[in-house]
């Protein structure tokens, strides 16, 4: 049986945004609270999370560029700060 690809609609985009926000929180926790034996172990763990987050971010930005609708309030915090900066610069 052939596996169906996930639908690329506003609900899928919302889920991507939630997952990106989760990775942002995990990275913040890693920086503040996690302890590692060596700096290389920390960098490896951080690099692994950043790679996963980058994949999700790429998919989310692609869907947004294709015109999939989304609510500004559902954007991950890391996206909101960038959008706020862009809004302030374009309005000035």
Lowest-confidence pick of 6-15, 41-50, 52-61: 6-15
CA dihedral sign of residues 24, 66, 68, 12: negative
- What whole-number distance in Å separates Cα of residue 23 and Cα of residue 21? 5
Domains of the chain, by residue range, sit at 10-91
Task: Return the higher-pLDDT residue of 79 and 52.
Answer: 52
**pLDDT score recorded for residue 2:** 75
- Whether the predicted pLDDT of 17 surpasses 60: yes
């Amino acid at each position: 049986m052939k596996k169906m690809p996930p639908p690329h609609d506003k609900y899928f985009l919302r889920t991507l945004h939630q997952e990106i926000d989760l990775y942002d929180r995990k990275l913040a926790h890693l920086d503040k609270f996690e302890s590692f034996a060596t700096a290389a172990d920390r960098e490896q763990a951080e690099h692994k999370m950043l790679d996963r987050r980058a994949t999700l971010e790429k998919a989310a930005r692609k869907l947004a560029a294709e015109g999939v609708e989304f609510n500004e309030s559902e954007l991950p915090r890391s996206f909101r700060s960038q959008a706020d900066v862009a809004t302030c610069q374009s309005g000035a």
